[in-house]
Amino acid sequence: MSKYILRRILLTIPVVLGILVVTFVIARSIPGDPCRSALGERATEAACNAFNARMGLDKPIIVQLGIYMREILLKGDFGDSIRYSRPVSQMIIERLPVTLELGLSALFIAILVGVPMGVISAVRRNSAVDVATMVGANIGVSMPVYWLGLMLAYVFAILLKDTPFWLAPTGRLTAGLIPDAFYQVWGLGLTRGTTLYMLADFVSNFVFLNALITGQWDVFVDAFRHMILPAIALSTIPLSIIARITRSSMLDVLGREYVRAARAKGVAENLVILKHALRNALLPVITVIGIQVGTLFAGAVLTETTFGLSGVGRALFDAITGRDFPIIQGFTVVVALGYVIVNLLVDISYAYIDPRIRLR
Amino acid sequence: MTTNIEAVVPAPADALRSRSLAALTWRRLFKQRNAIVGMAILLFLTLVAIFAPLLAPYDPVQSLLGIETLKEREAPCIHILGCPEDKPQHIMGIDANYRDVFSRIIYGTRVSLFIGFSTIGMAVVVGAVIGAVSGYLGGWVDNLIMRLMDVVLAFPSFLLAIAIITVIGRGLQNALYAIAIVNIPVFARLVRASVLSIKEQEFVSASRALGASNLRLLFVRIFPNALPMLVVQATLSIAAAILEAAALSFLGLGAQPPTPEWGTMLGSERNQVFTAPHLVFFPGLAIMLTVLAFNLLGDGVRDAMDPRLAQVAKK
């Protein structure tokens, strides 16, 4: 097993290097002049030369690639944003938590609703509940997430205005509400710029987690009320797919001999379903959940745009339109790396579930 | 001479079986509830696309400003639902440029069906060639091509499509290329896998022994056997492609105004959702219906081609 995992990890190294190169090539192939896009249309030749020299854009392209690879691989440094003149790593610290919270909330909803729906569908096969679930699942995978998001925003912000069900259609927190970071609340004397400080900053940007461990309940509730609509919108596709795969996997397992044996020896039906059948049926479901993490990344771009959340997806989109190379490179690498890691975990879980794969 | 012999000898696997298999698949397809619903919706959409000029009451890009008395982004007016008879009927309302939304939705069917078929058409052809060459030649060519495909697959496809568009520029045509490119690896892998599994089989060796050329082997012996899986994957991919193209247009990267494209219509009016929800609601509904049709059909075709799966699902 460990040999398989090691080999699988080694195999991702060329893919990661490929990602770095492809990202660099894509970022540099974007037409337009980064200097003019940062300093304005009427920047003088001299100003642009100075700018290019400062950013290292005057060096041969292959040298730029070398520097870029060295900085990322050895120092984890993605350079400074051309537009904002700030380290890209700092922007990742600020924005990645937003996307992760959105994605995890969506995944949480998808699993919490999708798995029980699939189980009920399978147990009550061909009943009205089953048909309704499967029709719903088919519609769910066909729905544009941004459309659902806008419709939800309309219903909850306009139609349900002046009711307790009103929900804010944009933003992460109500404007003006600034949560205290946990390291401030706890009085940890961290020095700015140190790795530990950056790590603490990253963790504190997870609004839910930060509010929870410091007991800022008003912030937690506010964050929850802002996150619920985007999370629901983003969860529809994974939810539908999880419900479908759970149903078919349960149907498969419920027909097995050991389930019949469990029933024959008089185990209560609920116990048969939850303990004997579901536990075995969940294996394929888990791998599908892993695969869905990738679609969540892509959906995050659209959901963040619709709901005005400043996450990774939104930042990447803005950077592409603004020709901000370092941001494009840094954020694409982060997203692609996340994708590679998830794929790696999926592959390893496959091997864990199905021993035959290890031997290949 | 050799080709003559080759032509006379019936290909044992397909000649006898394929016709009855195809017939069987067809018959099973019509027993699938999913497939029937999907085909019905698709037939409806195709008819709408073909007869758009007859169905649409107005020109999709013509502004009605000065022609009729209208307000900007006016809500739908449907006579049987109580809208005064003396007002002109606009069953899906009016957009920001005083255009009839219903007519734009109807013409949008053409755009979306075209997007679905053209992108996946390109991806299937290019992917199949790459996969076939890779699987057939093997060795370092195969290794190189497949690692390249791995890198492409390492990016979430939608983000990669966005990145490609920023390089080659915005617009519907470039969006089509971008979506086609990100879909290539799936088909390349699929064809490669079936080439690998078929190329060592006896009927292929027999053909080779009879002197069939590489190309002939590939197109006559190997491709037809990979076809069923390609059809299933292509149908499901069309659904995803339409959804992705609409999303690109929603972000302003795909079809540009005034093209009556559903994603563009939705995207340009997204900030008006609170004041004129009809401008967002109908385009989204149209996208969903079209994608749903292809998804249902794809599921149906897959179940019809794999009776084992269909039985499990029916159990």
Largest Cα span, chain B: 80
Cis peptide before B228 (omega within 30 of 0): no
What are the structure tokens assigned to A100, written together?
């992760």
**Annotated domain spans of chain A:** 88-179+216-353
Residue in chain A closest to B310 (alpha carbons) equals A248
DSSP B75: P
Binding-face residues of A in 217-256 toward B, CB within 8 A: 248, 251-252, 255
* CA–CA separation, A2 and A302 (whole Å): 39
Domain count, chain B: 1
Q: How many CA atoms lie within 13 A of A199 on its CB side?
A: 5
Binding-face residues of A in 286-305 toward B, CB within 8 A: 294-295, 297-299, 301-302, 305
* Residue B162 buriedness (CB in 10 A; 0-12 / 13-18 / 19+): buried
pLDDT, tens digit, for every residue of A153-207?
999 988 888 888 888 778 888 877 888 888 888 877 777 777 788 888 888 888 8
In this prediction, residues B112-124 reach a mean pLDDT of 95
Q: Per-residue confidence at A218, pLDDT binned at 50, 70, 90? A: confident
DSSP string, A46-66: HHHHHHHHHHTTTS-HHHHHH
* CA–CA separation, B203 and B222 (whole Å): 10
Q: Per-residue confidence at B106, pLDDT binned at 50, 70, 90? A: very high
Give the 3-state secondary structure of residue A80: strand
Q: What is the pLDDT of residue B265?
A: 92
* CA–CA separation, B269 and B219 (whole Å): 48
The identity of residue A44, as a single letter, is: T
Q: Per-residue confidence at B306, pLDDT binned at 50, 70, 90? A: low
Instruction: Provide the mean pLDDT of chain B.
Output: 83
In this prediction, residues A1-7 reach a mean pLDDT of 80
In this prediction, residues B213-224 reach a mean pLDDT of 79
Q: What is the pLDDT of residue B310?
A: 47
List the single range of A177-181, B249-253, B299-303, B308-312 with lowest mean pLDDT: B308-312
Only one residue has tokens 């030749």, namely A45
Provide the CATH number for the domain formed by A88-179+216-353 in this structure.
1.10.3720.10
Q: Per-residue confidence at B6, pLDDT binned at 50, 70, 90? A: very low
Q: Does A158 touch chain B (CB under 8 A)?
A: yes
DSSP string, A148-190: HHHHHHHIIIIITTTSTT---SS-SS-TT--PPPHHHHTT--P
- Residue B293, domain member (yes or no): yes
Residue in chain A closest to B291 (alpha carbons) equals A142
Domain with B290, as residue range(s), is 108-314
Residue in chain A closest to B241 (alpha carbons) equals A142
Binding-face residues of A in 171-200 toward B, CB within 8 A: none
pLDDT, tens digit, for every residue of A61-111?
888 888 888 887 777 788 888 788 888 888 888 888 999 899 989 999 999
pLDDT, tens digit, for every residue of A20-49?
888 888 777 777 777 777 777 777 888 888
Set of chain B residues whose Cβ sits within 8 Å of the Cβ of A147: 266, 280, 283-284, 287-288
Instruction: Provide the mean pLDDT of chain A.
Output: 84
- Residue B194, domain member (yes or no): yes
- Residue B287, domain member (yes or no): yes
Are residues B154 and A19, on separate chains, in Cβ contact within 8 Å? yes
Q: Per-residue confidence at A356, pLDDT binned at 50, 70, 90? A: low
pLDDT, tens digit, for every residue of A309-354?
888 888 887 887 777 778 888 888 888 788 788 878 877 776 776 6
In this prediction, residues B222-246 reach a mean pLDDT of 87
The identity of residue A49, as a single letter, is: N
Asked if the model's pLDDT at residue B224 lies above 60, the reply is yes
pLDDT, tens digit, for every residue of B162-200?
888 878 888 899 999 999 999 999 999 988 888 888 877
Give the 3-state secondary structure of residue B94: strand
- Residue B170, domain member (yes or no): yes
In this prediction, residues A135-139 reach a mean pLDDT of 91
Q: Per-residue confidence at A359, pLDDT binned at 50, 70, 90? A: low
Set of chain B residues whose Cβ sits within 8 Å of the Cβ of A295: 156
Asked if the model's pLDDT at residue A283 lies above 80, the reply is no
CATH number of the domain that residue B207 is part of:
1.10.3720.10
Q: What is the pLDDT of residue B2?
A: 43
pLDDT, tens digit, for every residue of B44-82?
999 999 999 999 888 888 888 877 777 778 788 888 787
Asked if the model's pLDDT at residue B3 lies above 60, the reply is no
Only one residue has tokens 């729906």, namely A117
Q: Please, are residues A52 and A35 in contact by the beta-carbon 8 Å criterion? A: yes
In this complex, the residue of A141, A158, A306 whose CB is nearest that of residue B274 is A158
Q: Please, are residues B283 and B234 in contact by the beta-carbon 8 Å criterion? A: no
Cβ neighbours of residue B22 closer than 8 Å, sequence gap 6 or more: none
Q: What is the pLDDT of residue B313?
A: 45
In this prediction, residues B127-141 reach a mean pLDDT of 88
Q: Looking at CA atoms only, how far is residue A17 from chain B in angstroms?
A: 9
Asked if the model's pLDDT at residue A230 lies above 90, the reply is yes
Among B105, B144, B152, B158, the residue to mutate for chain A (most A Cβ within 10 A): B158
Give the 3-state secondary structure of residue B71: coil
In this prediction, residues A214-225 reach a mean pLDDT of 87
Q: What is the pLDDT of residue B308?
A: 55
Q: Please, are residues A19 and A354 in contact by the beta-carbon 8 Å criterion? A: no
- Residue B220, domain member (yes or no): yes
Q: Per-residue confidence at B1, pLDDT binned at 50, 70, 90? A: very low
Q: What is the pLDDT of residue A151?
A: 93
